[in-house]
Every structure is written in C-alpha cells, then in structure tokens.
Structure 1
Amino acid sequence: MDNTKLTKFGDFSILMIAYVWVFVASAVSPALGSMAQDFPGVSTLKLQLVSVSPFVTSIIFSVAAGILAKRYDKKSIVLGGLVIYGITGMLPYWATSIDQIILLRLLTGIGVGLILPLPNIIIAEHYDGEPRKKMLGWATALANVANVINSVLIGFLLMRGWRYCFLAFAIVLAVAVINLFGLPKSPPQKQTSENMQAGAGCFINRIPKIVYLLAFYMMMNWAILQLNILNMAVLILSENLGAPWMIGLAIAIPGFGCIFSGALFPQVFKRLKNYLAFAGLFLFTLGSVTLYYTHSFSTLLVANLLEGIGSGLLVPYLFYVTSTKVDAQQYDFSFGIVTGAMHLGILFSPFLQVGIAMLGNTESLRYLYLVTTIALAIATLISFVYERVNSKQQVEVIP
C-alpha cells in the first residue's frame, strides 16, 4: 500500500470518478421515448442499443485499464478516459441518425471502461483498514447519489428535447478538471512492470480464481437489480399500482437504499464482519420476496428499498474482499475484472430475463420474480453455511 497522505481534496477527487460510473446510462435512458418520435420507423432494439451499447466497449476497456495501469500512471489513464467519456458523450447532440448515435455511444464506452476500475485500485493502493472500507462504501454510495441527481437534471433537460440530455456529459469534463488538480499520482508497481516483461499470459494465470468468482457475484448482483429496474414501468402500469409519474420515484428508491448502506458500510462491516455478505443477500432476498407478493405501490417501494440496501452492502464488500485476496501487484488486473462485471451484469440482464422466460415458457413478471427470489435464497443459504463452517474451522485451529 502507498502510505502517501492524501488531502481531503484528494479523497473528493477519487470519489468524483465514481460519480460518473453509471452516468453513461442514467443520462440517456429517459430520452429514448422522445428519440423514437424524432426517428420514426426505428426498431425498439436499436433504441435499446442507444442505452446499452456503451457497456459493450466499457467491459472490454475496463480490463484493458487494468493492463494499462501496469505501465502508466493511473492518473493519466483517468484523465484520458474522462476526456474521451465527456467529449464522445456530448457528440450525439449533433447526430443525424440512430446509427451515428450508437457508434458514438460505443466510443463513449471506451472512456467509461478506462475509468471504471481505477477508483477502487487507487483506493486499495492508498488506504488500508477502516479508511479503505469507508472509501469503498462512499464510492458505491456516490455512484447512486449520481443516479438520483441525474434523474432530476435529465428531467429538466428533456423539456428542451432529447439532444440536450447528451450535453449533460459536460459534467464528466468537469470531473476531469477536478481530477487534474486533486487526483494523486499512482505510478505502476515496480514488480508489476517486471511481471509484464515476463508476459501477460503468465501474470493472468497467477490471478487467484476467487477474483473470477467475485466478478461473477458482482455481475449477478447488478443483473438481478437491473431486472427490477427494467420492468418497473411495466409492473406499475400493467397492475395499476400507481400513476405514470410514480415510475421515476420507484426506480430511484433502490438508489436511495444503496446510498444508505454504502455510507454505513464500514460500521456494518465492523459489527457483522464476514457475515456481511449473508446480511446483504438476506435483505436482497427479502426485497425480492416482497416484490413477488406486492399488490400496492407502498409495498413496491419497501421491496425496492430492501433490494437497494442489500445491493449497497454487497458491492463495497466484494470490492473489499478483492483487495484482501490479491497482492498489491495484482490490484490493477483484478479490479479491472471485478469492476467490469458491474456493467456486464447490466448488459446481461435483458438476456437473463429472456432465458428465464424460455425456461418457464412464460413472460409473467411474477414468474421472473419467483425465479430470482429462489436464486437469491439459495445464495443466501450458501453464504450462511459457508461462514458458519469457516468460523468453526478457524476456532479449531486456534491453540
């Protein structure tokens, strides 16, 4: 760990990178309806690609960022990624076709991917113990604060037309300026450079298998959470749970839950320790059960809040476990994999829903929620049994 003492502005600069983690989606998805009116005849699939296409390139370049961090200062990579992110994010304002927008969004994903894993890598390098937990928790919380604030901002911009939503990406350039002055330098580890000279393939083979398992957990966490968000409008309107204006509120509630649990992550971790994963999964499962049985808007909000709190505990926990299971020289590539799994989960979510529908030969949302609830319940039980067995083994080896 780098023991360089950071200023409060340095802390703030690191966290501001997390602020634009998911801005690439939250700034554009609300505009798809207006966009469809300006481009009549465009298929629903193409419109959806406008929203999700950046995740295709962000997943690839998230891993690439981990590799680049072995050769170059992470601050330089962050600044380059933010500039690409901000400029290409704004360019669709001048686009004249959906194809142009999709192409530019793919380029935006490159910038997103370059910055995605770096806040967690920098945190792992500059912080340890409680400060590390605090920063990882706040990074998760701030990413969800961004979703709430962005929803309000984009709502106002939509009054002027969908093109203005893309101008909101100027926020990313503002974050770049903040990081130009506040982000600490994070040069590559000396040993990492030597490993790279020995060959990337050998280095990848030395990454612990648990990193890929943690990435899978991260992917499924975001995939299941995204399933809820994707189907919120359909559920509310098809079952008369509320008026159309209530959809935005329902979608924002999981974010509030993530903010709450992310901010309290260090305190919760201190009390629950290794049982924190069980607690997060239990709350996520409880929210999914409530969602399955809900027949009112109030219980829907409770379900979304529980899912948000559960997810908000799991995300920083997975990042923290990653930082403790690999050597400092493996941070770059390991965090690239685990952080990239966030966007992979969002991208995978629609395909997961199709697979579940084919499995049960029904597109019923109740069936979808039942399957996800069972999966979460099994994961919760496995987590509890694993920690119980692991705790007993630790006690037995103590003389």
Structure 2
Amino acid sequence: MSQKDSHSKIFILAVLSVSVMITTGTAISSALPEIAKSFPNISVAQIDMIATIQQFSVMITLLFSGIISKKLGIKKTITIGLMLTGVAGVFPFFSHSFILILISRLIVGAGIGLFNSLAITIIDLFYEDPMRSQMLGFRSATEQIGVSILNILVGFLVLINWHVSFLIYLLAFPLLVFFLKVVPEPQMIHSDSDNKQRINLPVIIMTILLTFIVASSTAVIIQVPNIIVTDLSKSSAISSLIISANTLMGMITGILFGKIFSFIKQFVLPLGILFMAIGSLIIVYIHSVFGVTIGAIICGMSYPLVGSYIFSLVSTIAPKGSETLANSTLLIGANLGSFSTPFFLKGLGNMNSLTTHVGPFLTLFWLLIILTVVVLIYQTMFQKEHVKKIV
C-alpha cells in the first residue's frame, strides 16, 4: 500500500470504520429504564450492567488479541471480532432471559476486545506523525460518531420495545464488508523486543487516570436516562437525544484535538478533566432537561481530550519497544473504568446526602477539581520534555 493510497479519503474511512463499534456497549443505555420494567426483581445496578458488563470480557480478550493477530493476521482477527459483536449484539432481540442477555453482552465484549487495540495498531502501521496523531484524534471521534448514531436509533427503536433496540448491532456487518474490501493486510513490525515488553510507572499512572476519566464519562451516559426518566419524568427518547448530544460533542472535540493540542500543548490534559468537572456541577445544580443537556454536552468534551492526549504520549513514556503493551494496558484501564461504572456511581452517591440520581455527580465534581489541580502542577513542573518530543 503506497503512501498516497493510505492517505486517500476512502482508505482513511475504511481504517477508521473499525472504531465505530468499539464504544457501542453503552449505546443501549437509553433502553435501560424500559428493560428494568421487564425485570422488576432485578436491581438497578444489575440492569445497568447490561450496558457495561461487556467491558469485562473486553479486558480479557485485549490480553490475547495481539497473540491471536500474530497467528491469524490482523484482518482475520478483526473479522472474527466484528462478527462476534454483530451476532451476540442482536441476541437480546430474541431473548427474554436476563442471564442469557448478560452472557450475550459478554460475548459482545469478547468480540470488541479482539479488534479494540488493533484499531490503534493499524493506524500505527499505516501512518507516521503528524498524520498518525491526527488519525488518533479521528479515531476517537469515530468512536463518538458510532455511539452517537446508535444512541439516536435506540431512542426511537425503544419506543417500539426494548428488544428492537438491540438491532443496532447489525451495523457491524456492513462495516466489516467495507473494511475487508478496502484495507489490505498490514505488515506487522517484528523486533527482538517483542518478548521483552514491560510497563513502567508513567504508563501505570496514565492508565489509572484513564480508568477514572472513562468511568466518569460512562457515568454520564448511564445516569442520564435515570435522571431524565425517573427524576424528571420525561421519555427515554429525550435521554437518548441528550446522550447523542454528549457523544456528538465528543466527536467534534476529537476531530479538533490536533489543533487544540498544537495551541495549548500539555495543558489539554487538565482542560479535559476540568470540562468533566464543570459538566458534573451543571447536572447537579441545574436540575432540569436543559441543565442535564448542557452538563452532558460539556462532559462530552472530556474523554476525547484526555484519551487522545494519553495515547499520543505512549511513544514517549513507554519503555522502548513496549508501545504495544502500553497501548493494551491503557485500553484495559479504559475498559475497566467503563465496566466498573455502576459500582463507581454507587460509591460516589454514598459520599454525599443527595438522594436523587444526580447525587454521584456532586462528589465527582470535587474529585475532578482536585485531580485537575494535581495534574496541572505535574504538567507544569515535570512533563515539558515529553511534550517537546511529541511536537
């Protein structure tokens, strides 16, 4: 594949198409209140797991996707992953068993885990900086596009019934056909360091930070339907539109990441955390559809800034030759954050006296403000050399 071909619009779209399904586990969040009505004996935390439990199996298969792709090839591994995601994703359309639905969600996660890190790997293999950094921003935006489109569809499909909302996973099949038709098998780069990869303290710190930010971002997506439907007595369609606005803002921010980073450099990280804090505060104190919408939109700017920055930093903070392991570690952290969100929300809610579904966001606001200050001090004093290497 020539440099010219890899920079064509159709090729770029095909490479990015793999990322469309990565974050779609939470796309059915708007259907959770309706699902809860069908399972009155199941707790809210357990119902919420339908939108997050797949991240557990994502973490497991992430550990093996590199090994599998070396045996089968990147394209075959991505093919298996997308097929599992599509087939298992639509299974709840046919099922009335809560246990079987959870199992199908675990299989969805197993599929996503197979191609999650490979979506980054193919960018690393086909592109070099500065195009590589730009593509990483586009990739983050593509995730947001996928979940935004599917959120809107779920909002309307759930009006029929919640089973129909799971048909959104049929999208995996045309995406797979498009990818297979356009993108050739990338050439894996092998080195003597393949079996000697290791993780250092900076990667661990960034993984913990990413875990927390993803949990915060997912909390918005999971909790908005509960706030809108339960606290404010509005329809699931409204919550779906709010979540779509959240993800749309994430898409726009991801697309603009390269320009934002070139302007404020390392301060993009504390800025991203601050956006989540401000959005959380608005959700708490402007307790209306308008307030939740504005707060969710501002929160949507957080992860694309924080996530894209952290992944762009990998080549400078990871031990030489350990970039693949570092990327996988970060992705595991991100999926751990998403998987743990129901427990994360419960813990945050127990730390203040508010009894409504906005309660967790008050605690989250103060934690994020503290984190913003800590990161800002660290970035100012210690990380200038990393930024110089990236730029």
Q: If the TM-score is normalised by the length of the shorter chain, which range does it land in? A: 0.7 to 0.9
Q: Residue 294 of structure 1 contacts residue 300 of structure 1 at CA under 8 Å; is this kept in 2?
A: yes
Q: Residue 30 of structure 2 contacts residue 225 of structure 2 at CA under 8 Å; is this kept in 1?
A: no
Per-residue deviation, residues 257-316 of structure 1 (Å, max 9, x unmatched): 211211101111111112211222232222233333324443433322222112221121
Q: CA shift at 1:345, angstroms?
A: 1.1
Where structure 1 has 5 or more consecutive residues not aligned to the other structure, the ranges are 197-202, 395-399
TM-score (norm 1): 0.85
- Distance change >3 Å, CA 285–CA 166, structure 1 → 2: closer
Aligned counterparts of 2:125 and 2:188: Cα–Cα separation in 1:
10
- Distance change >3 Å, CA 227–CA 333, structure 1 → 2: same
Is 1:384 the counterpart of 2:385? The answer is: no
Where structure 2 has 5 or more consecutive residues not aligned to the other structure, the ranges are 387-391
Is 1:52 the counterpart of 2:52? The answer is: yes
Moved more, 47-56 or 256-265: 47-56
Partner of 1:144: 144
Q: Residue 120 of structure 1 contacts residue 319 of structure 1 at CA under 8 Å; is this kept in 2?
A: no
Say what the alpha-carbon RMSD is for the aligned residues: 3.0
Q: CA shift at 1:144, angstroms?
A: 1.2
Partner of 2:338: 346
Task: Report SS of the residue matched to 1:189.
Answer: coil
Task: Report SS of the residue matched to 1:117.
Answer: helix
Counterpart of 2:145 in structure 1: which amino acid?
A: V
Q: CA shift at 1:56, angstroms?
A: 1.5
Is 1:108 the counterpart of 2:108? The answer is: yes
**In terms of Rg, which structure is larger?**
1
Listed as ranges, the matches of 1:1-399 within 5 Å are: 6=6, 7-26=8-27, 28-36=28-36, 41=41, 44=44, 46-191=46-191, 195-196=194-195, 203-204=196-197, 206-236=198-228, 240=232, 245-326=237-318, 329-360=321-352, 363=355, 367-390=359-382
Aligned counterparts of 2:108 and 2:243: Cα–Cα separation in 1:
24
Aligned counterparts of 1:9 and 1:252: Cα–Cα separation in 2:
26
- Distance change >3 Å, CA 170–CA 301, structure 1 → 2: closer
Q: CA shift at 1:245, angstroms?
A: 4.8
Per-residue deviation, residues 49-86 of structure 1 (Å, max 9, x unmatched): 43332222111112221343455532221112112222
Identity among equivalent positions (%) equals 22
Q: CA shift at 1:164, angstroms?
A: 2.9
Per-residue deviation, residues 106-156 of structure 1 (Å, max 9, x unmatched): 222110111111111221232222211211111111211122211222234
Q: Residue 130 of structure 1 contacts residue 266 of structure 1 at CA under 8 Å; is this kept in 2?
A: no
Task: Report SS of the residue matched to 1:146.
Answer: helix
Q: Residue 86 of structure 1 contacts residue 172 of structure 1 at CA under 8 Å; is this kept in 2?
A: yes
Aligned counterparts of 1:93 and 1:237: Cα–Cα separation in 2:
23
Q: Residue 73 of structure 1 contacts residue 187 of structure 1 at CA under 8 Å; is this kept in 2?
A: no
Q: Residue 19 of structure 2 contacts residue 143 of structure 2 at CA under 8 Å; is this kept in 1?
A: yes
Counterpart of 2:189 in structure 1: which amino acid?
A: Q
